[in-house]
Amino acid sequence: MEKMTIKDLDLNGKKLIMRVDFNVPLKDGIITDDTRIVEALPTIKYAIENGALVILLSHLGRPKGERKPEFSLKPVAQRLSELLDKEVIFVPELYGEPVNKAIANANPGDIILLENTRFDKGETKNDPELAKKWAELADIHVNDAFGTAHRAHASNVGIAQYIPSVAGFLMEKEIKFLSKATSNPEKPYVVILGGAKVSDKIGVITNLLNKADKILIGGAMMFTFLKALGKDVGSSLVEEDKLDLAKKILDSAKEKGVEFILPVDAVCAQKIESGVEKKIFKIDEGIPEGWMGLDIGPESINLFEEKIANAKTIAWNGPMGVFEIEDFENGTKEIALAIANETEKGATTIIGGGDSAAAISKFKLKDKVSHVSTGGGASLEFLEGKELPGIAAIANKKKIED
């Protein structure tokens, strides 16, 4: 179903409340990768150039309804202002007097960024009262937060109950590319999963088993599977309550004839820190207590490269290791290079996720893959074939024309 976009509206003199995904990686308050901000610029620029006042909403991290200063969007306001070479009015509130005042004092063409939507408990609960408060600030809701589209929250879904919601250019671009690449993926189709949001993402594998020819697992995700297979994983990150699901997935992969590839070795350390002692343990021999797997090892890299070779479609979400620290970046880097290589040979390749996108930028391979998606969980659920609530809430073209 084609979605209504910002281009379908007359924006002149309108107030837009625009949901973006500015959930960027931060280290000590500094933005380490601004891909998600850069990707939202075309929609913001279009809106202000066409005479709208733009009120931006985003979450950052998971502050769980509490106002935690380390999750403030203030550094994002500053970066956005630099990128646009224009003032961004940051209001460290979500509604109420300071917000109303800022809007009343603003002119068409101005940009206001409110504080982290997840500072209010109502956001993730999709609280209608909160959604209404935001809807009352504007005439139209613009949804450009593809990275959040798998969440049914007040700022992207609830708000559409009160004012029309249309897609921004990033949302439109992501839907177009992912639909085309995955409606009938050319085979062999390889899916690579890693990262740290294991309990969130392990569920998508069940449906992906009906689509992919091979599934490769790295990152923290690997340890839940390895533990389910009875391996010693030391102090590596394991989601204990997903062990049964992991077993089911392993059985189902066998039944369906899907190659399910787990690493055979891991780079381990006792602390997640740069410069600490590292050891490579073979999975069959086990990881000793006190040691954590923080990257896939060299034999696993070779194995994964073999499995990736000659794929026609590759979808990757979640870094293979803690790539933010140089000591543990190698697996992610080598897999990224292998994917770039297959892209050159003609494969369609998609890398998704806030952190995966940061990794691909770090290794300067952004332009060597077919598509870098700003969504990790969102792109996975899209590939799985699910209708994402954040997309469903956007008005369909037909509906508005009727």
Ligand X SMILES: Nc1ncnc2c1ncn2[C@@H]1O[C@H](COP(=O)(O)OP(=O)(O)O)[C@@H](O)[C@H]1O
Does 122 qualify as catalytic in the annotation?
Answer: no
Residue that the structure tokens 């450009």 belong to: 144
Q: Does 322 bind ligand X (CB under 6 A)?
A: yes
- For Mg ion, give the closer residue by CB, 32 or 100: 32
Angle, helices 354-362/330-344, rounded to nearest 10 degrees = 80
**Of the residues 218, 354, 376, 390, which is catalytic?**
354
Q: Report the partner that residue 21 touches, choosing among ligand X15, ligand X, Mg ion, none (CB closer than 5 to 8 A by kind).
A: ligand X15
Q: Is 50 in the site for ligand X15 (CB under 6 A)?
A: no
Please tell me whether residue 390 binds ligand X under the rule CB under 6 A. no
Report CA-CA distances (Å) from 127 to 54, 199, 225, 327: 23, 24, 36, 43
Q: Shortest gap between Cβ of 332 and ligand X (angstroms)?
A: 8
Q: Is residue 62 close enough to count as binding ligand X15 by CB under 6 A?
A: yes
Told to check if 353 binds ligand X15 by CB under 6 A, we report: yes
Instruction: Please state, in angstroms and rounded to a whole number, the distance separating the CA atoms of residues 377 and 395.
Output: 22
Does 185 sit near ligand X15 (CB under 6 A)? no
Residue 281 CA to residue 295 CA, distance in Å, equals 11
Span of 46-54, 114-122, 320-328, 386-394 interacting with ligand X by CB under 6 A: 320-328
Contact characters 275-294, ligand X, x per CB under 6 A = ------------------xx
Query: Which CB atom, from 82 or from 326, has the smaller least distance to ligand X?
Result: 326
Query: Which distant-in-sequence residues (6+ apart) come within 8 Å of 134 by Cβ?
Result: 17, 57, 94, 95, 154, 155, 159
197 is catalytic: yes
- Region of 70 on the Ramachandran plot (φ > 0 left; ψ -120 to 50 alpha; else beta): alpha
Burial group, residue 13, by CB count within 10 angstroms (0-12, 13-18, 19+): exposed
CB of 167 to ligand X15, least distance (A): 17
Give the number of other Cβ atoms within 10 Å of residue 273's Cβ: 11
Q: Six-digit token pair at 347?
A: 């494969």
**Least distance (Å) from ligand X15 to the CB of residue 36?**
8
Instruction: Please tell me whether 366 is known to bind a ligand.
Output: no
Crossing angle (nearest 10°) for helices 35-49 and 74-84: 60
Active site (annotated) includes residue 377:
yes
Distance CA 19, CA 56 (A): 6
Note if 230 is an active site residue.
no
Contact (CB, 8 A) for 301 and 334: yes
Contact status: 354 vs Mg ion (CB under 5 A): yes
Interaction mask 217-246, ligand X, x per CB under 6 A = --xx----------------x---------
Q: Which residues bind ligand X15 (CB under 6 A)?
A: 21, 23, 62, 147-148, 151, 197, 353-355, 375-377
Q: Which residues bind ligand X (CB under 6 A)?
A: 194-197, 219-220, 237, 293-294, 317-319, 321-322, 324, 353-356, 376
